Structure 1
Amino acid sequence: MKSVFLLFFVLVEVICCEGCWKQERETLMSLNSRLGNGLSSWVDNTDCCQWVGVECNTTTGRIAKITLQSYIGPPWHLNYSDFLIFKDLKILDLSSTRLSNCTRVAQGLKNLEVINLGSNNNLDNATTILSCLDGLSSLKSLSLSGNLFDTTSSQIFQIVLEKLSSKLLHLEVLDIGYNNLTNEILPSLRGFRSLKELHMPGIGLDSDLHIQGLCAVLKNVEILDISYNNFNDTDIASPLSELSSLKKLNLQGSEITQRSIHNISKLRSLEILDLAENNLNLWPRENHGFAWPASLQHLVLRANSLNNNILYSLNGLTRLESLDLSINNLKGSLDICGMSTLTSLKILDFRRIID
């Protein structure tokens, strides 16, 4: 019996090393060596589960998340065969790592659910991007934000998105924010029917062109971020009303006027609405048919130069829990009669400046 226990402990020692699996630790060390040892906390004979950028499955002790963000060095080539050892790997963050190309493996990383390829300026053509996503059929979340795609390369990006939509059938979260694109990119997103979150901040949208067509097919989207675009008095709320499941909408810094959101009440499932830093300053005392969605729980109207008239529009928001009216032009004695029905309100911010 003693020999059995001794064999067990020897096996544990072979497989694990200081809290993490030995083979996985050695693979990370090898990867760091090829990257010029730029990840200084990855030190031999220490628990790799405690390394910066590494998280482990608390049940199995295997690595579940790897972040290479802190890597600073020359452009590099990723070979996915290096990651086959990580059986529990679900999250791979390669953002801001100067990644230039990838080589897939036949088996693929079947358990990988989240990959961040954002802010990698060397991923500048369809072939390289697709090479880094080939074989990742289990992906649920993908970020391609901040890769400096622009109007000259938008056609390439359209091809990429169209091909990915036919392969990433389980994708629920997509971020293409902060690329210099236009509304012409939107039709290429129509194949991502399983999306629940779509992030497109700062991509150069300047009208409602193609938005209704996109919203008509993305029926499962619950979170939409189209902040820091320029809708410039466009009636953006009407096409967005096609998103029947939408719960959270971010329109911050997008040149929104009252005309832009006149039909916002059509978003009947909306719970969180961010309209900070827009052009809502000419709010009339009379609502003229305008109403907020009755389902709203959180409303941000910060920094819009709003006057006291905005208070009259808030009547009837019985589910509203937080209201941000900071950095506006509310003056004098405030008539809060219109707010008397805000029976669920817990947080009210009237501050003129943010601390």
Structure 2
Amino acid sequence: MERSNHNLPPSRDQIWRDMVTIEGGDPSIREGEGFAIGGEGRGGEGGEGRRKGVVTGVGSSGGVRCKTVNATCHASEKQALMDFKKDLKDPYGRLSSWIHDVDCCKWKGVVCSNRSGRVIQLHLQSPANDEVFADPKSPLSGNISHSLQNLTHLCYLDLSLNNFSGIPIPSFFGSLRSLSSSLPSEVFTLKDLISLDTSNNHLNGPIPSTIGNCTKLKQLFLNHNALSGSIPSNLGKLSSLENWDVSHNKLTGTLPESLWQLSKLEVLCIYNNLMEGIVSESQLDNLTSLTFFDPSENSFTLKVSANWTPRAQFNILGLSSWKLGPQFPTWIQSQKILRNLNLSFTGISDTIPTWLFNPSLDSVDLSRNQLHDKSSMISEIVKGLYVHSSQTYSMAYSH
């Protein structure tokens, strides 16, 4: 049978649309004004934010749309941006509007506060042909200058789909204390970070331990780089983290114990790394909000009791290359909203449970296992495929 494609994590645009609203807002960003968050080559206007005073969404042409800024930018912040530009290679002239004679709040990719003139957002993602994982058309490269530390009110930084090949994630990112989120409800401000995105940039080296300083991050995208070493042990300090994607890197070691303290985590993508270790049911039961869990293509072992029922309900579950067998994991039956399941190459040598094939599942990958049953059972599966024609099953049988 046809093998299902590996499930991709939700795009940044999708997460912004479905799961993220900036809490609070700068007093100068009034309802219906504000800004739109630039997407990656997607057209259309941004969706309206769910908190008064903020508009979020997807901007057009991969850029940022904002209203006329009344205040002018601060000289020190303009100089910080000019110093940042000096260390970049920009062969396509994407930063051609960044000149001294023009107010930096009017530069492409820069968003300022209407009231204070402070730089609060930098949207420097490279325009792409597709929504996710596309080759950039006009990537920036070079070095990321420490001058960004002088943007003390910066709350959003997007450098995705560029080509910062051969450089590690700058350690000073962790010292950008304004890059945090969960603002007090009584204060409308955009000081705190909602999302940090450095994906698709060929970054190498370890994840700096200073990332633990950004204690209020909600969105952290480090995927599709060449990061190595272990995950910092202080990851648990990111107590507001909801979405974390560190897939397609070269990370090693075990998952830090503090990871299981992230009770608000909804999306966790670690697939295609070089990690190992044991994951227990007590650890997983701490992540009750988790719905998208894909740590496939690592060497983890799941240790659970025979009667374990997970506290989380997974929508996407990828455990490819884990050690699960030889028995088929019966706890899968407790997952009522499961849509995509990947249990390929997990050491299962068992019969196929009749409860597995149901209308709620869109994709099941059981390949590279030793599944066996009577031919009549296979006939029932084929019949189920006919009834649910949108479903994709991938299996390897021994009968």
Question: TM-score scaled by structure 2?
Answer: 0.52
Structure 2 counterpart of 1:126:
171
Q: Does 1:304 align with 2:345?
A: yes
**Contact 2:254–2:275 at 8 Å: present in 1 too?**
yes
Shift of 1:221: 0.8
Deviations 1:55-102 (A, max 9, x none): 564799x9946648xx96399999765345678998824255215235
* Residue 195 of structure 2: aligned partner: 141
Instruction: Please state whether the residue corresponding to 1:235 is helix, strand or coil.
Output: strand
Q: Which has the higher contact order (CA 8 A, sep 6+)?
A: 2
Tell me, in whole angstroms, the C-alpha distance in 2 between the residues paired with 1:283 and 1:138. Answer: 47
The within-5 A match list for 1:211-222 is 211=257, 213-216=258-261, 218-222=262-266
| Aligned-partner residue type, residue 92 of structure 1 | H
User: Residues of 2 paired with 1:94 and 1:303: CA distance?
Assistant: 35
Given that residues 173 and 196 in structure 1 are in contact (C-alpha distance below 8 angstroms), is that contact kept between their aligned partners in structure 2?
yes
Counting only pairs closer than 5 Å after superposition, residues 271-310 of structure 1 correspond to structure 2 as 271-275=314-318, 277-279=320-322, 282-284=325-327, 290-292=330-332, 294-296=334-336, 297-301=338-342, 303-304=344-345, 309=350
* SS of residue paired to 2:158: strand
**Could you say what secondary structure the match of 1:137 adopts?**
coil
User: Match of 2:241, as an amino acid?
Assistant: L
* AA aligned opposite 1:125: P
- Counterpart residue number, 2:299: 255
1:229 to 269, 273, 277: 273
Kindly state the Cα deviation for residue 243 of structure 1 after the two structures are TM-superposed: 0.8
* SS state at 2:352 partner: helix
**Cα displacement (A) at 1:279:** 4.9
Which residues of structure 2 form unaligned runs of 5+? 1-39, 48-54, 64-88, 99-103, 115-119, 127-138, 181-189
Q: Secondary structure at the match of 2:288?
A: coil
* 1:197 to 2:243 alignment: yes
What stretches of structure 1 of length at least 5 have no aligned partner?
1-51
Tell me by how many angstroms 1:174 deviates. Answer: 0.7
Partners of 2:158 and 2:196 within 8 A in 1: yes
Distance in structure 2 (CA, Å) of the matches to 1:142 and 1:183:
19
Say yes or no: does 1:335 pair with 2:377: yes
Task: Show the 5 A alignment for 1:1-20.
Answer: none
Q: CA deviation at 1:270?
A: 2.3
SS in 2 for 1:309: strand
SS in 1 for 2:144: strand
Tell me the secondary structure at the aligned position of residue 73 of structure 1: coil
Q: Is the 8 A contact 2:253 2:275 kept in 1?
A: yes
For these two proteins, the number of residue pairs brought into alignment is 276
Amino acid corresponding to residue 195 of structure 2 in structure 1: S
Structure 1 counterpart of 2:86: none
In the alignment, structure 1 residue 94 sits paired with structure 2 residue 149: no
Aligned residue runs from structure 1 range 153-232, under 5 A: 154=207, 157-159=208-210, 161-165=211-215, 169=216, 171-177=217-223, 178-187=225-234, 189-201=235-247, 202-208=249-255, 210-211=256-257, 213-216=258-261, 218-232=262-276
> How many Å apart are 1:109 and its aligned residue?
5.8
- Cα pair 1:227 1:252 within 8 Å, conserved: yes
Name the SS for the 2:240 alignment partner: coil
Contact 2:168 2:204 in 1 (8 A): no
Secondary structure at 2:232's aligned position in 1? helix
Helix, strand or coil for the counterpart of 2:296? coil
- Return the match for 2:362 from 308, 311, 322: 322
Query: Cα deviation per residue 1:198-229 (whole Å; 9 max; x = unaligned)?
Result: 11223524324x23x2322x211111112123
1:148 CA displacement: 2.7
Cα offsets for 1:250-274 (capped at 9, x unmatched):
02212345x4566895532222243
Q: AA paired with 1:137?
A: K
User: Could you say which structure has the higher strand fraction?
Assistant: 2
Q: CA deviation at 1:324?
A: 0.9
Aligned residue number for residue 73 of structure 1: 91
The structure that is helix-richer by fraction is 1
SS at match of 1:190: helix
Could you report, residue by residue, the CA deviation over 1:154-185 in whole angstroms, capped at 9, with x for unpaired residues?
A: 5xx112x13333xxx3x321122344333351
Higher Rg:
1
* Structure-2 separation of matches of 1:238 and 1:230: 23
CA contact (8 A) 1:75 1:98 kept: no
Q: Please state how far the C-alpha of 1:234 moved relative to its aligned partner.
A: 1.9
